[in-house]
Amino acid sequence: MKIAVIGTGYVGLVSGTCFAEWGNRVVCVDRNAEKIAALRQGRIPIYEPDLDELVERNYAAGRLDFSCDVAKAVEGAAIVFIAVGTPPHLGHGDADLSFVYPAARELAALISSDTVVVIKSTVPVGTSDVVHRIIGTVRAAGTFAVASNPAFLREGAAVRDFLVPDRIVLGVEEEWACQRLVELYDTPIERQDTPVIITMRRTAELIKHAANAFLATKITFINELADLCEEMGSDVAELALGMGLDKRIGASLLAAGPDGSCFPKGALALLQTAQDHGVALRIVEETLAVNEARKRRMARKVTKALGGDIDGLTIAILGLTFRPDTDDMRDAPSVPLIETLQRLGGRIRAYDPVGIENAAKVLSSVDFYDDLYECARNADAVVVMTEWETIRKIDLAQLKQKLRQPVLIDLRNALDTEAARLIGFRVCAIGKSASTDSSLRDIAKQRNRQRAVKAATPKLVPVTMREK
């Protein structure tokens, strides 16, 4: 099947490459000629594990190509995906659709008869209906279809999430278009027994935002419990283990951390949709408020660990990106933390294995290092912000030798804090008090780790599923 993908950002590039991996002929389109030339030479604009290998293999096989020519790309395409960026508007946070609607207007005059136009971008509920109306001003009813097929991709695991998904959501309201989309996903997905949910366009868009908002709420919940654990002398990691092994809850996203949520855009979009329709979503409102407050709480945590005054002190930040295995700095909790510490007089050094280039675009007056031990040299404290594998495997003794003061603030609970204390670190972690760790509990801890298993989340088969 010939497929065109409009947009070579995160969703567009991963989706187009994976469709090609399934044997389709795919052309990914972007107006940026330099970007297209780089992609044809195998230079990938984002860091995502396994993506470069897939791009190289499928481009060499002739299944994947890149172009600036929209007309040529969509000529004869059975399906055209719109996967352009929809960043939040500055100031009020709702999605910027200034790339989506122009793409729809351009496609209206270029698509072949019986083309299915699919919105892959994360968009507000009702966007697909507007795109349908836009195309309908040029093309006759019945000669095209518009569908919603939201992406559920975790940065750092996007290729696997696409190729081995939890579910496929198709918002489509024409039978012939539904059959074509099912055909696209049929063979690779059917082999994995993956549920395919077929529903209305608006419901598909709503599923995306509702899922993100629920996950944001789950993260917020464990973060608030982490605060309680710190006051009570409990351990949030053990609490999360005890909760997560309950299959109704699941272990995913029960790791307390410095960020209130990695899904702020989805939660905000759902809240705005509800407000537009006069519906109150109190839980989502509170989640967003708590998440915003957590950014300030993390800066206070660092300041408190250094005696309450950081003016003139040097702080080494280990890890800058939004999460490990990505170079994305969007919504990275390191940004508000660093900016707050700078306002309080702190001098910032920072290390990240792949994110320095992007971090330098959004942070100023920061000294960046490619070596984490050099980053820590003569610093008054080290703060773990992103749990990269290189950071998890850090040599604590060597790290301590580099620091001016042996202060370790682990905001990801990525390191062995008890081992750090034994070699002389003053440790501050998330969800545990200074007295939480005890050698008397070593046997119990080891037993818990040995018996811990990943909680399997059962696949839900909704009533809206139709026979394929």
* Catalytic (active-site) positions: 262
Report CA torsion sign: 411, 414, 416, 422: negative
* 46, 10 Cβ separation under 8 angstroms: yes
Q: First CA to last CA across the chain, in angstroms? A: 18
The sheet carrying 2-6 orders its strands as 64-67, 25-29, 2-6, 79-82, 115-119, 144-148, 168-171, 196-199
Distance of alpha carbon 448 from alpha carbon 428, whole angstroms: 23
Tokens of 407: 């202060």
Residues in the chain: 468
Tokens 């044809």, residue located = 40
The answer for residues whose C-beta is within 8 angstroms of residue 198's C-beta and 6 or more apart is 170, 172, 178, 182, 464, 465, 466
Burial code (b: 16+ CB inside 10 Å, e: under 16) for 412-449 equals bbbbebbebbeeebebbbbbbeeebbeeeeeeebeeee
Distance of alpha carbon 207 from alpha carbon 318, whole angstroms: 35
Distance of alpha carbon 412 from alpha carbon 54, whole angstroms: 31
Bridge partners (DSSP) listed for residue 232: none
